Structure 1
Amino acid sequence: MAGTVVFDLDGTLADTSGDLIAAANACFQARGLDDLLDPMADALTAFHGGRAMLRLGYSRMARDTLLPPGAEEQDYPRLLDHYGRNIAVHTRLYPGVEEALRQLQADGVKLTVCTNKPEGLAETLLTELGIRHLFGGLIGADTLPVRKPDPRPYRAAVDAVGGTVAQSFLVGDTDTDRKTAAAAGVRVALVNFGPEGDAIARLGPDAVISGFAELPTLARKWLG
């Protein structure tokens, strides 16, 4: 079977929310504030990136707490620094990820990653999780001047493994992934084991995946 499967990272291959939330809370603590985000309740926001977490946390400050101008831009690199030093404390692969990736490889499918996590952090995390070697390519948020949902990172991820966009599809977990697939003109499968659960179907993906064991069969159907 020829073809390429492109994977998002956060919320798709691994539950990274705990370490992301911890990095945001470290920024709030440095300003003398309490932990403003909850690892469970705010997991969905974590998968939308560092700035989204900081904005949500700031919105929960007491009304009489003054925040210096530009706090978000000041804290964002601090968040990334803390996260980079504590990138795999709580993070875990979702069940069945490695088995599914190996089966896809056995079926002749090329595997690559397209994420809005900075490339260096994505490289580190995939290595820490023990699966970096299973992917032939990796495009991060800062690899190109643009990021998802612009289709160019997706195309670059496919090009990195010598694939063709026409014989590829995306596996993700957010509306950003759906929009990326639409812009690239490919199918998208969204996972429902993230924070949104079955509600992810509201985005109208081409398929919803309830577990990674389903992915090889879907790939045979779409790429076969």
Structure 2
Amino acid sequence: MRTVIFDLDGTLADTSGDLIAAANHCFRHMGLGDLLDPGLDAGVALRGGRSMLTHGLTKVALFDAATVDVYYPMLLDAYSGAIDVHTVMYPGALEAVEALKTAGYGVGICTNKPEALAEMLLARMGVRDHFASLVGADTLKVRKPDPEPLREAARRAGGDPAQCLLVGDSDTDRNTARAAGVPSVLVTFGPSGEDMAALHPEALIGSFDELPETVERLIGRA
């Protein structure tokens, strides 16, 4: 079976608001106030908790790797307690997923969000059952851009890892697909959309309406 594997944060869902809220909780605990802005720092948020802590502390010239290590568990705890307050699926995401499944493709998720948090978020949003597989940052001993999580997501979705495609929104996703020897499709509607063309993926899409035709062009009919 041919499979289409999706990144989660910044690809299927805009999770930046809840991620930034969790990071700002940590910064307030440090006595620094809200260092991240939901509008300006959305792209940083979608790179994960450690990136947010690093970015915020760098803004005030207080970055220290040990501080990031200390506060990262607090960030995860705050995030898990308010994981779906601001998060929304991108327009057309689920419709595209269902169209791909109807066409015969397997569909799964490969994310660098910890698996338990990804499972929690998808369940809270009522969309977990749309996906045949979910591989998170800690599901295996390696994470993206190592190709093995992508391959495992394809296998768990019932597919051949050599005949999959990764839909993402970052250089991590582009490099993961390249390492696996499969195509990548990068979305341009997220916070870092203007930077995607420079990564030279096999395809760019500005809307999920474009995805089914793009998938068929790149990996063939299911």
TM over 0.5: yes
Report the residue type matching 1:115 in the other structure: T
Is 2:175 aligned against 1:179? yes
Q: Could you tell me the percent identity over the aligned residues?
A: 54
Q: Is the 8 A contact 2:169 2:193 kept in 1?
A: no
Q: Is the 8 A contact 2:186 2:204 kept in 1?
A: yes
Distance in structure 1 (CA, Å) of the matches to 2:157 and 2:114:
20
Corresponding residue pairs, total:
220
CA RMSD of aligned residues (A): 1.4
1:1-80 superposed matches below 5 A: 2-61=1-60, 70-80=66-76
Structure 2 spans left out of the alignment, 5+ residues:
none
CA-to-aligned-CA distance 1:116-159 (integer Å, 9 cap, x gap)? 00000000111122211011111000001110000111111111
Question: Which of 145, 166, 169 is equivalent to 2:141?
Answer: 145
| 1:115 positional shift | 0.3
Structure 1's 32 and 162: CA in aligned 2 closer, same or farther, altered over 3 A?
A: same
CA-to-aligned-CA distance 1:159-211 (integer Å, 9 cap, x gap)? 11120122210000000000000000000000000112233101101000111
The secondary structure found in structure 2 opposite 1:38 is: coil
Q: TM-score, normalised by structure 1?
A: 0.94
Distance in structure 2 (CA, Å) of the matches to 1:89 and 1:165:
35
CA-to-aligned-CA distance 1:75-132 (integer Å, 9 cap, x gap)? 0000000001100100000000111111111111100100000000000111122211
| 1:3 positional shift | 1.1
The corresponding residue for 2:200 is 204
Is 2:103 aligned against 1:104? no
Distance in structure 1 (CA, Å) of the matches to 2:88 and 2:53:
23
Distance in structure 2 (CA, Å) of the matches to 1:163 and 1:68:
43
Structure 1 spans left out of the alignment, 5+ residues:
none
Distance in structure 1 (CA, Å) of the matches to 2:188 and 2:50:
24
Is 2:110 aligned against 1:88? no
The secondary structure found in structure 2 opposite 1:111 is: strand
Distance in structure 2 (CA, Å) of the matches to 1:112 and 1:68:
36
Structure 1's 22 and 110: CA in aligned 2 closer, same or farther, altered over 3 A?
A: same
| 1:68 positional shift | 8.1
Question: Which of 170, 178, 184 is equivalent to 2:166?
Answer: 170
Is 2:116 aligned against 1:120? yes
